[in-house]
Amino acid sequence: LTKFKLHSTNTTCYIKMNAGVEQMIMQQVSNQVLETLEAEEARVDEQIRKFDEMDDDDIERLRERRRRQLMRQQQKRQEWRAAGHGSLNELSSQQEFFEATKTSERLIVHFYRNSNETCEVMDARLRELAQAHLETRICRIDAEKAPFLCERLNIWMLPTLLLVKNSQTIHGIVGLDELGGDINMLSVRMLEYVIGQYEQVVQYEGPPPDAPQEDRQRMNRVRKGARVGNVREGIHDDDLDDWED
C-alpha cells in the first residue's frame, strides 16, 4: 500500500510537470506567432504610410513604371512564342538541337523512341508543362535519329530529359526514378518541381509535391548521381560535320 501511494504521488507530480511544460511551450509558440503578426502589421503600416505620403506625380510615376513593366513582359512573351515556346516542338535533326540551345535561355529536350509507351505519356505531360511555363522551350528528338548526340551526351536510357540553360547542360533526368518511378502517377506538378530544382530551368517556387519521406530521399540520391554530357564543354555543332562525314 505504501509503494502504491508513492507511485501515485510520483505520477501526479509527473502529470503536473508535463502540464507545466506543455503550457510553457504553448506560451512560447503564442509569443512567436504574435511577434510575426506584429512584424507583418508594421510592414503593411509602413507601406501604407509611404503610399499616403505620395503626391499625384509620385503615383503617376508608379503607374508608368508598372505599365512599362507589363509591356516588357508582354513583349517577352511574344518573343518566346515566336521562338517556339508554349508547345512541345519536334526537332527533326541534330543541327536543330544545337540551334535550339542557342536561341532559348531555358530548354528541355526529351530524347524519345516512337515505340516506347512511357515516352508517349511523357510527351503528354511535357505539353502541359510547356503551356504552363512559357519561359522554357520544350522540345523532343527521336533518339534513333540522333546517334551523335546520344553518344556524346551519354543518353543510355529512354525517356531522358536534357535540361539546358544558357547553352549549357545543367542535368539529365534519366528514366523515371527521379520522378517517382511510375509514369502513370507522374503529375505536371512533380515534373515542374523536379526540373525547377536545377537552376530554375522552369521557374517553380512552390513546396514539393506530397510524397513519402523515403521517396524524396531516394529522388535526392538519384538526382545527385545522374550525369550526362555537356553541350558547351563536350559538343559543338562543328563536331556534327565530322560525325556525319
Taking the C-alpha atoms of residue 128 and residue 137, their distance in angstroms, rounded to an integer, is 12
- Tell me the pTM: 0.66
Taking the C-alpha atoms of residue 105 and residue 91, their distance in angstroms, rounded to an integer, is 17
Taking the C-alpha atoms of residue 182 and residue 191, their distance in angstroms, rounded to an integer, is 12
What is the predicted pLDDT for the residue at 229?
A: 66
In the numeric block, the cell 509514369 is attached to: 183
What is the predicted pLDDT for the residue at 143?
A: 96
What is the predicted pLDDT for the residue at 45?
A: 79
113-156 per-position pLDDT tens digit: 999 999 999 999 999 999 999 999 999 999 999 999 999 999 99
What is the predicted pLDDT for the residue at 242?
A: 55
Instruction: Return the number of other C-beta atoms located less than 10 Å from residue 232's C-beta.
Output: 12
Instruction: Return the number of other C-beta atoms located less than 10 Å from residue 96's C-beta.
Output: 15
In the numeric block, the cell 537552376 is attached to: 199
Per-residue confidence in pLDDT tens, the chain, 245 aa:
444 444 545 555 555 566 666 777 777 777 777 788 888 888 887 877 777 777 777 778 778 888 887 888 788 888 989 999 999 999 999 999 999 999 999 999 999 999 999 999 999 999 999 999 999 999 999 999 999 999 999 999 999 999 999 999 999 999 999 999 999 999 999 999 999 999 999 998 877 776 545 454 555 555 555 556 666 554 556 665 555 54
